[in-house]
Each structure stands twice: as C-alpha cells, then as structure tokens.
Structure 1
Amino acid sequence: MNKPSRRVHYLSATLHLLPLVSLMVSISLFSQVIIGAPALKPSATAAPRYLFLFIGDGMGPAQIKLADAVLENGHALKMTSFPVLGMATTHAENRYITDSGAASTALATGRKTTVGTISMAGNHLDTLLTIAEMAKAKGMKTGIVSSVGINDATPACFYAHTPSRSNSYDIAVQMASSGFDYFGGGYAEGNLPENRQKAPAFKGDIAERMRSAKYLITHNRIELQKVKPGIRCWAYTGYDAKAAMDYAMDRNPENIALDEFTREGIRLLDNPHGFFMMVEGGKIDWACHANDAAAAAHDVKAFDNAIAEALAFYRRHPKETLIIVTADHECGGLSLGNRTNGYDTRLSLLRRQKISHQRFSEKVSSWKKSGTVTFPMAIDSVNTYYGISMKDADSTLALTPANYKTLEEAYTTTIKPESTDIFTSAVTGLLNVRAGIGWSSNAHTAVPVQVFAIGKGAERFRGFYDNTDIAKKIMQIAELKKDAPSRINQVNKHRLILPQ
C-alpha cells in the first residue's frame, strides 16, 4: 500500500487546525467587544470624520502678519504653522468687492450669489444646500460658533436661507428648525426688540422657540460646562448692542472667549459619527471697518486661539480630522507700511493701545453727555489708553504741536450736540500712522485671501482657486452627499439647487 505524501499530511494537519484558529479569532474579536479593546485604525482611504472650517471675517494676509508682528516675541500664530497653504478669490456674483453674505454663501455652498444674500441663488428663488446641512444629513453632529451675533451673515449662511442678510429675525427663527446641535458665541441679533418689530411675520421669542426645539440655553461659562454631550445647546455670553461679543482686547474675564466656545463645542459634538464645526472670528472685520489695527491684531490672535483648540483635537485624531482656515474677504485695505513713514515701521507701538476704538468711543460719548471733560482731561485719557502724550521718553509717541492742534479741533467738533465722534478716529489713526500702518478703505476689498489646511485631504487646498472651490473640496474629501434634508423643503418653498 502506498504511503501518504507529505502534501497529504500537510493538508490533513491544516484541516485539523482550522477549528482552533477559528476559535482563537472568535475569542479575540469577542474580547475586543467585551473588554473594550481599541477600535480598528481608520482606513487610509476613509473620509475624515471631523471637519473644522474657520473663517476670519475681514482677515486678509496683512491682518495675519500684523497679529504675528504685534504678538510678544517668541510666539507665532498656529494657523501659519499648517503645512498646506493656498489662496482664494472672493468676488460675488454681481460685484467684484463682496460682502459676508455672498462670500460666506460661496464657502458654505460652493456657489456664487449676489451681495447680501444668505445661501440662496442670486435670483432669490432657489435655495442652496450648505455643507453643514449635508454633514447633518450624513449623520454628523453640527456646530456654529461666532464672535458676532449668531445670526450675522457668516454664521447664518451655514444654517439659514433668506434673500437678505437684513432679515435677522427670520434668520434667527431658522436656528431652531435647522436641527444643528450647537450654537455658540454672540446672541441672536434678530431677537433684539428693534429687529423683532421689523419682522414681517413675528413667530415668537427666539429663546422660547429654541427651548421648544429641545435646545438648552446657557448664558455663562459654568452653565455651558455643565451641558452633557448629546444635548442640543445654544450658548452665548455677554454681548453688545448688536448682539456681538466684545473685542478680544476689551473682554471681561467673566465672559466666555472664542476659544472656550470652540473647546466646549468639540466636547459636546464629539461622537463616533463625527462632526462639522464652523467657527468665525467676526470682530476682525469690525475692527478693520473702524481702521483699528490693535483691535484687529488682538481678534486675529483670539481667533487663532480657537484654531489651537481644533489643532489639539487633530493631534489626538490625525487620520480622521481636517481643519481649514480662511477668510470671507479682506477689509480696510490694510498695509504694513505707509506713505508717512516710508520704510520705517514700529508695529510694537500698537501694544500701547489698551482698549478698542469702540470702547474708547463709548467713553467719549459719556464725556459728551456729562459736559465736564475738558480737552486736557481727554488728552490724559489718550495717554492712558493709547500711550500717546505731550511728553514721552519715546519720541515716536510724543505729540507734536501739530498733532495736538489736530486732536483739539477733532475733540471740539465731537462734543457738539449733533456731531459724530471724529476724535476717537483721529486718536486711533495717529497711533496707526506712528506704528507704520496704512489703510486704504473703511470697507471691504477684493484682495485674495489665504487658505491654511492640515489633516486628512489637506493637500487638495494647495494652489490658487475661487472661494467656491473651498466648499467643493470639502464636499469631495468628506464625501458629503448632496441629498436635500427634508427640513429645507419645510423652511423654504423655493426650488432646491444642489451643488454642482
């Protein structure tokens, strides 16, 4: 009788071992489920699970460099450390110089629209689906954070749809119907009495509508920190007459900062299905409209602190996170250098300014009402808050006779009953000139803006492209479906236009 070959012995042994191998694999898988062993690593081709989009309103390249220069030595902005850099154009559908409505619609939907429009087509008949709504439809949690009013143009473009950004009450109403999980930052300007009265159809108090939609509303740091993940939340802090947070350099420590809203948002949104969060540094734009370089620098830094929170999260989830930082447009035509100083700049002089243009103007307004503050007394305050005086060891900060006369004339005009405040602008402008800062406008410009990226798919943001391409790239990388959430058809009776 023939003896079995070695191959037959090998096959027989293998067959006997198969049940044992199967049992070992089963035990291994069972132990992972029961004992809580680490989950399998994300696939190299999987879409990022966590998406961050940071928008510095009014933040052009000069604003970024200004903040970097004004910071204390040895520090640098986190956003400028990102490995990928791109540039984006910002024009609107109907105007070369855009506004936040058209620009943020482009960033939110990947489509151009007309100035002042909130995530609708320029014909004001068609609704545009946003990347935040796509993320929500995919099962991701969604969060919107801003240092200005939560229904201001930029945040509104991610959850609301309306023909005009001035429809602030209508925008605020759509917060509750959005189903988004987290709103943080400023208050809802649309719920202020003057805006409720202007609404064509009043549908009730916004806070009550939010509570009815199962949102927990918090007003301070302690309340926000107590909110548990999984609970919808609208969190705001102290706000001004326009529902915005204070400028970073004016912030009361008791009020919540932008980075804290971002950190708490990450805590509340983090879940196995991932999340999308948009964070806006809105007060950068406001500072640039006022040509207040110091306030702009401080708010860019506050915005960067919020980015640092996302970066810390990215380091814990490097293969599942994508962070994009950009701007909707530039504001003010800021230049680091001016005609007066030529090649000389002393940007560090801006550190002498202690409060924003807005806060100093409020002081001037109180002086005007009291009628007891003389010009010499006002100059003492200029020294206190801007570091400028008649006599200073630093000649670059000492007032010349011509400076003194200019400020005196501005103050005399300002304190007249029907006059506007030109004194604050004169003082702020004087420090800016001494520092070597130039401004060409009090409005937006068409300067291309920078795009910084890090994380899964970040390499696609290299190059020069249009702002609509930012949203399109995010859709592609994150595999966001273009199916319309049902609530869009409920809120808007217009035709829904899906991204191209």
Structure 2
Amino acid sequence: MFKSNNTDKTDYSPLIREDADNDLLCFGGDGTSLQMATLLSGEDPNRHVTVMSVGSTCEREQVNDEDDCEGQYNIDDTQATSSRKGAVYCSSTLLCYALSVLMTASFTSIVCILLFGNANTATEIKYVVSGYQPSAVPIASGSLSNLIVGITDGMGPSYATLARILKQYDNKEDVHNTYTNTSLSFDCDLIGQQRTRSYDSYITDSAAAASALASGHRTNNHWIGVLPNLTNVAPVFSAIKNQKNMHIGLVVKSSVTHATPAGFYAHTIDRGNEYLIADQALDFEPDVLLGGGRDYFENRPVAYYSSTKAIHNRSSLIPDFEGKGYIIVYNKKDLLASDPNAGKRVLGLFAGGAMKFSIDGDRESAAPDLLIMVQCAVDALEAMSKASGKPYALMLEASLIDWAGHINDGATIAREVLEWEKVWSYLKQRVWDQDRVQKQDARAETVTNTQTGTPSTSPFSLRLLATSDHETGGLTIGANGLETFDVAALANQKSSFSTVYSQLAAHRWSEYPQSRKEAMAYVTGLASEALGIPVSQFTEEDLECLYSPLPPISPDHAPSPGQRSFSIDLDCIQNARVHTAYTTNGHTGADVNVYAYPPLDPIFNSLRGVVDNFDIAWWMASQWDVDMSSERERVALIPNGSG
C-alpha cells in the first residue's frame, strides 16, 4: 500500500499500473507521484517508472478517464512554463529527483554529475511529453516525420465549451458541483490561437482558409489553391509527395471534393466546381481518400465532361482509379474488410454528397463514422510507410461541425465536436503506443549498437496538429441577459434540423391540398420528434417559431422556403429553452484554437501564441524541408477554371 504524506493519508495504490513490459505507470498529485516512483524504482533500478503528476484540473477524473487529461506537470522556465500533459521517466535517486522538481534542469544536472559522476547514469531524469524531451535549442528544419493534421471546420472556442457541457451531462456528472471538471480529450493540448481571414475579407470561407492552411498563401474567398493574380500556388502536401515520396491521406465527412480537402491538392477559382476538383484528385493520387462525394466521380453530367473545362472527359472516374491500383469501397463493411498491409491505395466514397451528422447516424449504418475512417486510414498509411521507409501525412476534417453551425443547430454542433473528441483521443493513444514501441526498440538497439558500434536508429515518430479554418455561427452560451443554461433541452434533441427539413422536402403535400391546419400538425409532429419535446409542451412562442415560415400550402411545395430558414426557426425554440444565441448563419472573423500533441514538443514552438493561418503551412514546409518555389512551378499549368 502506498499512502501520501498529506494529512488525508490517501491510499494511492489504485493509481499504480503495470504494463506488459513490467514497467510501472503512476498517477498522483501533490508530490505523491515522486514518493511512489522513488519507492518503486528503488526496488528495481532497471525498471522504468512513468509518473503522471496530476494537477487540480484533472485530479478528480484521472482514474476513470485517462484520455481526457493524463496528467499535468510544470516545466522550469528554461524550457517552457506550462501545465500540460506530461510524464517523468525516473530511476532511483531521490535527491536528484527532488532537485529536478525544485530547481532548473541545468542546475539539477550539475549537482547530479558532482555527486554521482554522470547525471544520466546516476538517475534518468528526463522531462518529456509522452516520450519527447523538451529542448531549449531550436528545432532544425527537416525534423518532422509523420504528421496528422486535423481541421475542425467552423469550430470556435464556444463550440468546445458547448460540447464539454453536453459531455458532462451525458456522463451523468453533477452539473451543479463546481468541483466537477469534465475535460475534452484535446483540452490539455491547446498551444495557441490562429487568426482567420482571406485575402479579400476579414471573414474567410473554407476555400480561402484551406488554401492558406495548406499552401501558406491567402487568396480570395471561394478560390482554392489559386492566387488573386490567377496563378496556381502549391500545397505543402503536393511538395512532400513529389519531393519526398511521402504517403498522403485525406479523410473527411463532407465530399472529398469539398473546399477544405480540396485545399490540400486542388486548384480552382470556383469551389463549387467539384467535378473539376474530382479530376484533380485523380491526378493527385493520394494514397488514401475517404469521405463522401460519390456523385462527382460517377455518373457525371455530360454538360461538364464534354466541356473544355473538364480535365478528364468521361462520365466515371472509377475505372481510372482502379487502373491506378486503388481499392474502391462504398460502405463500412468493405472498408473494414480491406487489408491495410496489402499495400493498395484506397478510395472510399460513402455518400453521394456529404455524410450523415453523428446525431442522425446509428451503429447499423452502412457508412463508417469518422473514427472508423480514421482508424483504417492510419492503419493503411502506417503499413505503407513501414514498407517504403517513407513517412506519411494525413489530413482529417470534422467537416460537419461547420454545417451544423450554418443552421444554428446547437445539439448537432456539440455531437459533431464530441465525435471529433473521440478521434483525437484515439490518435493520442496511437502516438503514445508508437512512442512505447520506439523506446522498446531503442533499448534493444542500445545493447546491439554498443557492441557493434552501429549508429542507433528509431522508427518515424508521429505528431498531431489541429485547428479550425474559421468560426461559424457566432454562438454564445447565455443570451438575452439570462445567466442560466438548460443542457437537458440540448441533450434531448434526437436528430439534426437538416433531417427535419429533408422529411419536409420529401413529403407529398398533395395529400393536404389547401390545408394549412394539417400542414401545421405535420410540422409540429416532426419538430416534437426531433427536439424530444412532447407536443403538449410546446408554448405559443414555440408554435410561432414553427409556423411563421409556412407559406400558403400548394400541392407541390413544402412549407419551408429553404433549409436554413426552417432550421433557424427550429433553433428559435432551442434558443429559448437552452439559452443560446447566434449572430449569423454564416462565418465570423473570430480567432480559433490551435492544438498539438505532444503539446510541449518543441517542434511546435513557432506555432505557440497567436499565429496566422498561413503560418501552419510554412511550419509544415520548413519541418519537412521542401522547396515550395519549385513545387509552385510544377503545379503552374494545372487547369484552374480561369481560362
């Protein structure tokens, strides 16, 4: 039994875990971690002990939800002052261990060398973040290997807050307990913010934003990979593919030809020309391409493929992909059945356009969710990387956060963010697992290379970076002077507003000719089912929200003049009940968050604080050490629709 030296005499034995390598993982706080580690490592000096020193933010949920916040620690000012996820690998010397906590790293090393001859052999005091040791020296260009870039389309800070509140409610935690601090899996990984704007506006759209994030250049709204002077600009993914032979993946919930994914490979002055973007996807040849957008690859209209703007003049591009060695999958079953070790590139098209909102999906759905797509993509890319010896880059987009924001649908926004949270948690575990493998390989190589004199090598490391392209909707939590919030009303919503509109649009209104009363009853029923509100509980204000957009009924027209109009009127009900509000059904110019994992890895130092959206691309280009000028020359002649 291990007890703290605090007055409460808490037994911390449940916080000690043993892994398959007989190494120990300790969770604790208030100095208890140090005590446990010293005792445990003292029993066996060769045993690795990982200490996760938990701060007050994460302390109460540490045991049950390690992914949310696996620990906090403070690094001295010579490295960085922070309180983020971290670990300390230690051996047996309590003095050096205490010094490493109380003093600077350099002072600790000097004292340990004086006392023991060598700081590293006397005690293995390493401040690391999930296996990566912080350094005060600048990181050299070309030091980046595998990278997963996440784009949470449209997610501003208030979206994360909304999702966190809903997660706390879903977990049945006491929302009135001020000591209950529910965390999202990315909360501990915040490193700064990003300024969003396009070349021609303070308020960007996804096309211009993706161009800045992917290529390092701002352009006009609605343009992708084309500068205001109509010349093409190269995405970093194009450069690393052609200059470094790296493997490339793109996974989204929108169509794979939509603005954000297109920003990483395409060039067009019209983001709406998704047939042209599909042509360019074929020519770009990513190793993994998963999402919606089947309609832009199959049964393409004659008006497009017979035009001079088409790159590939045919109705279907699928035979072309097959001819280039792609496996084509259209559902979850076939995706899961594909062998990641086969070395085959994968094209997955799971919907004609965008895929479903998570709130509208179910486990029996034929289409995979975002997490399954990500798992399969990473498996495939890692297998390719292992076979070729080349690293990989993967762009993921939680596309539909933005789509829910456009229709001011708070519950759907929160569910999409929580779906992304699961993906981020999974990816962090992949980083952690890969880091463990690297350490095991390094231990084996240390023995071998000491005997042979061969330089030690290690597998490619994996890093995560995530941000948003812009904020959508201008969500506020709290509205109209009210300082209350009804999360239950949010949690009770059963489907997205878009689903309700689709049901309205598909309805045969000829069954209710000239009958506004029956139409009103039908609309009320749909709203009741979607929002989880019994019809009897609708107030007069609720009914006014529902019925105000109803035009005179005709046999051929739905009662809503458009999806956004009807959705906003549905949100009129939710706003009044939940106490949220929105400033727009478009985008805003607000700054958005930037996350990285491991968060204290010095490779991310130049992205800390507040940066511009184009800084993300130049950071990638620098770390991969690619020549963007020569790549720009290579893409200059790709048709962009301007001729």
Q: Same fold (TM over 0.5)?
A: yes
The answer for the alignment partner of 2:313 in structure 1 is: 203
Pair 1:275-2:386 in alignment: no
Separation in structure 1 between the aligned mates of residue 427 and residue 214 of structure 2, nearest angstrom:
19
The answer for the alignment partner of 2:584 in structure 1 is: 441
Separation in structure 2 between the aligned mates of residue 115 and residue 424 of structure 1, nearest angstrom:
25
Q: How does 1:21-420 map to 2 (within 5 A)?
A: 47-71=143-167, 72-73=170-171, 76-82=183-189, 84-124=190-230, 126-136=231-241, 137-191=243-297, 193=299, 197-199=303-305, 200=307, 201=310, 203-204=313-314, 205-225=316-336, 226-229=338-341, 230-237=343-350, 239-240=351-352, 243-253=353-363, 254=365, 255-270=367-382, 271=385, 272-318=389-435, 320-339=461-480, 342-369=482-509, 371-372=511-512, 373-391=518-536, 398-411=537-550, 413=552, 417-418=556-557, 420=561
Greater relative contact order, per chain length (Cα 8 Å cut-off, separation 6+) = 1
Q: Is the 8 A contact 1:368 1:415 kept in 2?
A: no
Separation in structure 1 between the aligned mates of residue 236 and residue 431 of structure 2, nearest angstrom:
20
Separation in structure 1 between the aligned mates of residue 551 and residue 400 of structure 2, nearest angstrom:
30
Q: Is the 8 A contact 2:225 2:235 kept in 1?
A: yes
- Greater CA deviation, 306-315 or 262-271? 306-315
* C-alpha displacement of 1:360: 0.8
Deviations for 1:322-358, whole angstroms, at most 9, x for unmatched residues? 211100011111111211x521222332111101111
What is the identity, as a one-letter code, of the residue corresponding to 2:328? Answer: I
User: Using a 3 Å threshold, how does the CA distance of structure 1 residues 485 and 216 change in structure 2: closer, same or farther?
Assistant: farther
User: Using a 3 Å threshold, how does the CA distance of structure 1 residues 188 and 317 change in structure 2: closer, same or farther?
Assistant: same
Separation in structure 2 between the aligned mates of residue 312 and residue 413 of structure 1, nearest angstrom:
56
* C-alpha displacement of 1:481: 4.1
Separation in structure 2 between the aligned mates of residue 369 and residue 128 of structure 1, nearest angstrom:
49
CA RMSD of aligned residues (A): 2.7
* C-alpha displacement of 1:488: 3.9
Q: Which ranges of structure 2 fall in alignment gaps of 5 or more residues?
A: 1-130, 174-181, 439-460, 513-517
Q: Is the 8 A contact 2:234 2:632 kept in 1?
A: no
What is the identity, as a one-letter code, of the residue corresponding to 1:430? Answer: I
* C-alpha displacement of 1:68: 1.5
Deviations for 1:386-419, whole angstroms, at most 9, x for unmatched residues? 122354xxxxxx3223433443444465777455
Q: Is the 8 A contact 1:152 1:189 kept in 2?
A: no
User: Which TM-score applies when normalising by structure 1?
Assistant: 0.81
The answer for the alignment partner of 2:441 in structure 1 is: none
* C-alpha displacement of 1:261: 0.8
What is the identity, as a one-letter code, of the residue corresponding to 2:355? Answer: M
Separation in structure 1 between the aligned mates of residue 470 and residue 156 of structure 2, nearest angstrom:
7
The number of equivalent residue pairs is 442
Q: Is the 8 A contact 1:191 1:206 kept in 2?
A: yes
Separation in structure 1 between the aligned mates of residue 132 and residue 473 of structure 2, nearest angstrom:
44
SS of the residue 2:402 aligns to: helix
Q: Is the 8 A contact 2:216 2:615 kept in 1?
A: yes
Q: Is the 8 A contact 1:460 1:473 kept in 2?
A: yes
Q: Is the 8 A contact 1:160 1:175 kept in 2?
A: yes
SS of the residue 2:290 aligns to: strand
Separation in structure 1 between the aligned mates of residue 217 and residue 545 of structure 2, nearest angstrom:
48
The answer for the alignment partner of 1:18 in structure 2 is: none
Separation in structure 1 between the aligned mates of residue 637 and residue 335 of structure 2, nearest angstrom:
29
* C-alpha displacement of 1:374: 4.4
User: Using a 3 Å threshold, how does the CA distance of structure 1 residues 322 and 384 change in structure 2: closer, same or farther?
Assistant: same
Separation in structure 1 between the aligned mates of residue 193 and residue 618 of structure 2, nearest angstrom:
15
What is the identity, as a one-letter code, of the residue corresponding to 2:568? Answer: S
What is the identity, as a one-letter code, of the residue corresponding to 2:148? Answer: F
The answer for the alignment partner of 2:606 in structure 1 is: 460
Separation in structure 1 between the aligned mates of residue 637 and residue 344 of structure 2, nearest angstrom:
23
Separation in structure 2 between the aligned mates of residue 42 and residue 407 of structure 1, nearest angstrom:
55
User: Using a 3 Å threshold, how does the CA distance of structure 1 residues 172 and 390 change in structure 2: closer, same or farther?
Assistant: closer
Q: How does 1:13-24 map to 2 (within 5 A)?
A: none
User: Using a 3 Å threshold, how does the CA distance of structure 1 residues 314 and 171 change in structure 2: closer, same or farther?
Assistant: same
Separation in structure 1 between the aligned mates of residue 165 and residue 301 of structure 2, nearest angstrom:
40
Separation in structure 2 between the aligned mates of residue 369 and residue 145 of structure 1, nearest angstrom:
39
Deviations for 1:469-494, whole angstroms, at most 9, x for unmatched residues? 11112222333443645994486279
- Greater CA deviation, 195-204 or 310-319? 195-204
* C-alpha displacement of 1:368: 4.9
* C-alpha displacement of 1:163: 2.2
SS of the residue 2:263 aligns to: helix
Q: Is the 8 A contact 1:87 1:448 kept in 2?
A: yes
SS of the residue 2:264 aligns to: helix
- Greater CA deviation, 216-225 or 196-205? 196-205
Identity percentage over the alignment? 24
* C-alpha displacement of 1:63: 1.3
Separation in structure 1 between the aligned mates of residue 235 and residue 589 of structure 2, nearest angstrom:
24
SS of the residue 2:254 aligns to: coil
User: Using a 3 Å threshold, how does the CA distance of structure 1 residues 369 and 405 change in structure 2: closer, same or farther?
Assistant: same
Separation in structure 1 between the aligned mates of residue 158 and residue 623 of structure 2, nearest angstrom:
29
User: Which TM-score applies when normalising by structure 2?
Assistant: 0.64
User: Using a 3 Å threshold, how does the CA distance of structure 1 residues 228 and 321 change in structure 2: closer, same or farther?
Assistant: closer
SS of the residue 1:284 aligns to: helix
Separation in structure 2 between the aligned mates of residue 171 and residue 390 of structure 1, nearest angstrom:
46
Q: Is the 8 A contact 1:168 1:189 kept in 2?
A: no
Q: Is the 8 A contact 1:105 1:112 kept in 2?
A: yes
* C-alpha displacement of 1:145: 0.8
User: Using a 3 Å threshold, how does the CA distance of structure 1 residues 76 and 369 change in structure 2: closer, same or farther?
Assistant: farther
Q: Is the 8 A contact 1:145 1:183 kept in 2?
A: yes
* C-alpha displacement of 1:426: 2.0
User: Using a 3 Å threshold, how does the CA distance of structure 1 residues 462 and 169 change in structure 2: closer, same or farther?
Assistant: same
Q: Is the 8 A contact 2:152 2:401 kept in 1?
A: yes
What is the identity, as a one-letter code, of the residue corresponding to 1:57? Answer: D
What is the identity, as a one-letter code, of the residue corresponding to 2:425? Answer: A
User: Using a 3 Å threshold, how does the CA distance of structure 1 residues 358 and 107 change in structure 2: closer, same or farther?
Assistant: same
User: Using a 3 Å threshold, how does the CA distance of structure 1 residues 130 and 417 change in structure 2: closer, same or farther?
Assistant: same
